[in-house]
Amino acid sequence: MDSSDGFFSEEELDALVKRFRNAVEQDANEYFEADELEAIADALLKRDDIVLAKSAIDYGYAMYPDNEDFQILDIHYHVLDNRSDSAEQLARSFIDRHPDNVEVRLVLASILSDHGNHRDALDLLEQARELDPESEHAITSLSMEYQVLGQHRKAIDLYREILDRNPEDEFALNELVFVYEVANEITEAIRFLTDFTDQYPFNQQAWFHLANTCNINNEPMKAIEAYDFALAIDPAFTPAMFGKGHSYMFAGDHLKAIDCFRETAESEGFKAASYLSLGEAYSQMNNYGVAAEYYQKSIEADSTYNESRMGLAYCLYMMNLDEEALRHVNEAILNEPERSDTYQLKGTVLMNLERYSEAATEFRNAIRADKENEAAWLDLSETHHFLTGIPEALNILHEAEEVLEAENAMIAYRKAALFFEAGKDQEAVSQLLTGLSINAELYTSIYSYNKELENNEIIQEIVTMFLNQ
C-alpha cells in the first residue's frame, strides 16, 4: 500500500475503514500511520458516520498529539454533529495558534455565515485569500458571501476570475449567471456568454446559459440558435431541447414547440414537465381537448404538478365542463391553499354557473392570497354587478384603488364602463381620461366588458381626440 503521498484508492480506503472498525469493535490496540487515520476519519465524515469518525479522530489525537490535521478534522466533526458553537470556539483557538492556516479560516467563515454573521465571515475569507491567492475554495466562498450581502459586482468579478483560471468550472459558471440574473444585468450576461462561447465553443453549459439568458431578454430566435449549439455538442442534452421548445413558444411557433416537447417527453425526469408544456402549447392554440389530455398525462406522471391541474381545470371550463373543472380546481386549492390564481379560476367557473355569491367568496380568497391581484379585483367587482348592481361594483373598485395604491388603468376603464351604463356620463368621461393618461392602449377593455359601448360616440370622440393630440 503506497501511502507516501497521503492518497489512497477507494479499495485501500475501504480496507482501512474496515480494519479500523474491527479494531474499535474488538477494542484492539491496532497501529495506524497518521495519514491512514486522517484518511479514515475524513472518509467517515464524508459518509456521515460521525460516531466512528470521532473515534478515529480521538485515536489520532492519542497517537499523534501534535498533528494539526486531527485538530482540523475535530472542528469538521463538531460542525457535522450540529455543535457549531463548539466548532467556532475550536476554530478560533486553532487560528490563534496557527495564524497562517487557510482551511480553518474557511470553516470558521462558513460557521459564521450560517449564523448570519456575514461581515465577519467576509473578513475571514478575505484573510484566507490574502494567505493563499490561488485558493479556488477561498475565492468561491468569498463570491458567495458577496452574493448574500448583495454586493453583486464583486461576486461577478470573482466568478469571472475563477473562470479565467479554469473555464471548465461549471459551478463558477452557474453561479456567475445566477448573480447576473439576480442583479438584473442580463445584457452584460449575454455579452459575457457570447464572448465565452466564442473562446470556448465546446462548452455546452455556456451555450445553454446563453440560450436561457436570451430567452429572459426576449430574444427567442437567438436562444434557439444557442440551444442548437448545445445540442450539437450533445444531441441527448434534454434540458436544451426543452428550453428550445419554450423559445419556439415565446416566438409563437407552437407546432415546432410541440415537436420539441414530444421529444423531451421520452426522457426520464422530463415527462411531467413536457406534458405540461404540450398542454400549454395546445391550449394557446385553443385546442382545449388535446391540451386537456396532455395536462392529464402530466398529472399521471407527477401528481405534484399543480400547474397541470390548473391547466386541466381551465381547459374543462373552456369546454363548458364546469363541474369537472371545479373538481380539479378544488384539488389544486388543496395542494396550494396560498395560491391566488387557484381561487380566481374557481370563481370564474362559478360565475359561468351563475353561482355569484360563491364566486364572490372565491375572488375574495384570491385577494387575500394576493392583494395585488388586479384581475381578481375586477372579477369581484363584476360578480357584485350581477349580485347587487352597479353601486356595489363601483364600491369594490374604490376599495381596489385604495389597496393597489398606484393609479390603475384597468380599474379606471372598468369604472368608466359602469358609469356609462348607469347614465353618469360626466363621471364616466373623467375615468376614461384617467385610464387614457395611464395606458391608452387598454381602452378597448371597456368594450370587452360591455359590448354595447362600442357604439358610444362620447367614447369614440374622446379616444380619437386623446390619441391625436
Biggest CA–CA distance in the chain, Å, is 102
> What cell numbers appear for 227 in the block?
440551444
**pLDDT tens sequence across 401-437:** 999 988 899 999 999 999 999 999 999 999 999 999 9
Q: How far apart are CA 237 and CA 267, in angstroms?
A: 10
DSSP letter for each residue of 400-461: HHHHH-S--HHHHHHHHHHHHHTT-HHHHHHHHHHHHHH-GGGGGHHHHH-GGGGG-HHHHH
When pLDDT is averaged across residues 54-76 and rounded to a whole number, the result is 92
Asked if 88 and 113 count as a contact pair (C-beta separation under 8 A), the reply is: no
Q: Please determine, for residue 150, whether its predicted confidence score (pLDDT) is greater than 80.
A: yes
Question: What pLDDT shows up at residue 5?
Answer: 40
Alpha carbons 297 and 303: distance in angstroms, whole number: 10
Residue keyed to cell 349580485: 387
Over residues 445-459, the mean pLDDT reads 95
Q: Check residue 176 and give its pLDDT.
A: 95
pLDDT at 136 over 90: no
Q: What is the pLDDT of residues 215-274, one digit of tens each?
A: 999 999 999 999 999 999 999 999 999 999 999 999 999 999 999 999 999 888 899 999
pLDDT in tens, 69-97: 999 999 999 999 999 999 999 999 999 99
Q: Which of 387, 378, 373 is nearest to 446 (CA)?
A: 378
* For range 10-17, the mean pLDDT: 93
Give the integer Cα–Cα distance in Å for 342 and 356. 17
Q: What is the DSSP letter of 267?
A: S
In Å, what is the CA distance from 115 to each residue of 85, 109, 137? Answer: 10, 10, 20
Chain-centroid distance of CA 12 in Å reads 42
Cβ–Cβ < 8 Å for 196, 188: no
Q: How far apart are CA 31 and CA 37, in angstroms?
A: 10
Q: What is d(CA 394, CA 84) in angstroms, rounded to the nearest whole number?
A: 58
pLDDT at 445 over 70: yes
With a threshold of 0.85, does the pTM exceed it? Answer: no
Residue 6: band (very low, low, confident or very high) from pLDDT cuts 50, 70, 90:
low
Looking at residue 406, its pLDDT comes to 81
* pLDDT > 90 fraction of the chain, expressed in percent and rounded: 89
Beta carbons of 38 and 72 less than 8 angstroms apart = no
Q: What is the pLDDT of residues 369-412, one digit of tens each?
A: 999 999 999 999 999 999 999 999 999 999 999 999 888 999 99
